[in-house]
Amino acid sequence: MRVRFTQSAIDTIEARRELLDLAAGAYASFEGWVRDHNEGQVVTRLEYEAFQELAMKEGERIIADALRRFPVKHALCIHRVGSLDLGDMAVWVGVSSAHRGEAFDACRFIIDEVKHRVPIWKKEHYRGGDSGWVNCERCAAAPHHHDLA
Amino acid sequence: MQLKIHYYALMREQAGRSEETVETSAATPADLYGELIARYAFTLSREQLKVAVNSEFSEWSRRLEQGDAVVFIPPVAGG
């Protein structure tokens, strides 16, 4: 599978090896890290949860889309699930291609699509003990404000 | 008929369980969500969700069948 989920630290050295290709002159990667703040709150740790069966299918479709759209050789995405600390790598995307332009473009495309399409959820834990599911709690707390705005 | 339901993230916490088998007369995922939102007081409206049947994205108007596995999908936040 070209999209995977792991409970343990992402091994980028091993993942990168899968992209090697003598026809590739370029490699681009993206790492998403756990940040200590979000929307004005101090974040202390994160939890990720995935609906893995569908997430792998949708992820595979994203990789296939990327390979159709951009002339790249190989692409791979690995996403952490479970509890993560500040500074941990939450997601890694790697792409190899003949030239650098399409490697950067495909890498950007894949991470953007993963964020929007793949059923993965992120719970932020804040200083002070509060926590919240990103993109779920604020909408849920005030579902009618969108209608009034 | 019986349906299997899996809950994730905010909905898992609000339902207090990650899965259950329900006996229902709901004809579609939309009907089913209407039943469950009354039972569990989910805070997400149906308009905020997507739905999957048997591990594939589905229309809300799909006809449900005995044994189908249904997952309601809250707004995602990968990466």
- The domains of chain A are located at 3-148
Q: Which amino acid is at B31?
A: D
pLDDT tens, residue by residue, B26-72: 999 999 999 999 999 999 999 999 999 999 999 999 999 999 999 99
Considering only CA atoms, which of A63, A73, A56 is closest in space to residue A119? A56
CB A107 within 8 A of CB A101: no
Element spanning A23, H or E:
none
Q: ipTM of this model?
A: 0.96
Mean pLDDT of A45-66: 98
- What domains lie within chain B, and their CATH numbers? 2-73 (3.10.20.30)
Homologous superfamily of A3-148 in CATH? Molybdopterin biosynthesis MoaE subunit (3.90.1170.40)
Closest by Cα among A73, A74, A88, A82 to A31:
A88
Which chain A residues touch B if contact means CB-CB below 8 Å?
32, 48-51, 53-54, 57-58, 79, 90-91, 111, 114-123, 133-137, 139-141, 143
